[in-house]
Amino acid sequence: MKTRQEAWDLVTEYVQDPGLRRHMLAVAAAMRFYAEMLDEDADYWEIVGLIHDFDWEIHPDLDRHPIKGADILRERGWDEETIRTILSHYTEGTGVRAEKNIDFALMANDEVTGLIVATTLIRPSKNIAEVKLRSIRKKWKNLRFAAGVDREEVEKATGEFSQACFDGQLDLWTHINNVLMAMQEAAGALELDGRLVA
């Protein structure tokens, strides 16, 4: 298995945009949180979260991402199981369906992190420690806020994750709060600890 350092090296080679790096670190934190909850391999889940969008900056459209990214991963010696999971987070384009817990977790954690980051960045402190679930709920209803976050997709992915891993008992707002807590734990890595205040 590749190491987290190898995963991060891949990210820094292909991703220069700080916001995209933050997104992948956020998904990685959420993946680790859920792996620990589900008694899965937390190091591995974190790595998958970290690299899932590594090629978006060079392939910024769904005709190429993540399919072309998979080719790069193969060239770099990444294993087929990791590649399969990454391809499964865009089934419409790749034809690879979510099958395993990790696949459902990746889809459930992907978009929702964007809403949490956006909610943090509009705060004067830019400190995720101060973000409460009620603030995210309020922003959820305003479809112009973080308009790139497809609320329907988040609900669908959360529902599928809930069925696959929690016997249908994980509701949307518990999930979003879990991701928020995971990201709060990773505030330093995400640079959402107040350092972005001008």
Q: Considering the chain, what is the average pLDDT of its residues?
A: 96
Tell whether the model's pLDDT for residue 96 goes beyond 90: yes
Tell whether the model's pLDDT for residue 114 goes beyond 70: yes
Provide the pLDDT confidence category of residue 39 given band limits of 50, 70 and 90: very high
Tell whether the model's pLDDT for residue 198 goes beyond 70: no
Residue 91: inside a domain, yes or no? Answer: yes
Distance CA 26, CA 109 (A): 9
Residue 25: inside a domain, yes or no? Answer: yes
Q: What are the E-state strand segments in the chain?
A: none
Mapping DSSP to helix (H, G, I), strand (E, B) and coil, where does residue 65 land? Answer: coil
Residue 195: inside a domain, yes or no? Answer: no
Distance CA 72, CA 69 (A): 5
Residue 138: inside a domain, yes or no? Answer: yes
Provide the pLDDT confidence category of residue 178 given band limits of 50, 70 and 90: very high
Closest CA to 107 of 155, 166, 36: 155
Distance CA 186, CA 140 (A): 22
Q: What is the number of structural domains in the chain?
A: 1
User: Given this model, what pLDDT does residue 2 score?
Assistant: 94
* C-alpha 176: how far from chain center: 12
The range of the structural domain enclosing residue 142 comes to 4-190
Residue 104: inside a domain, yes or no? Answer: yes
Distance CA 140, CA 111 (A): 12
Tell whether the model's pLDDT for residue 122 goes beyond 70: yes
Percent of the residues in the chain that have a pLDDT greater than 70, as a whole number: 99
User: Given this model, what pLDDT does residue 34 score?
Assistant: 98
Residue 197: inside a domain, yes or no? Answer: no
Residue 198: inside a domain, yes or no? Answer: no
Segment 142-151, tens digit of pLDDT: 999 999 999 9
Tell whether the model's pLDDT for residue 29 goes beyond 70: yes
Of residues 92 and 144, which shows the higher confidence score? 144
CA dihedral over 11, 14, 20, 22, signed as positive or negative:
positive
Tell whether the model's pLDDT for residue 139 goes beyond 70: yes
Residue 26: inside a domain, yes or no? Answer: yes
Task: Please report, for residues 53, 105, 139, 195, the alpha-carbon distance to residue 133 in angstroms, rounded to integers and kept in the order given.
Answer: 26, 20, 10, 22
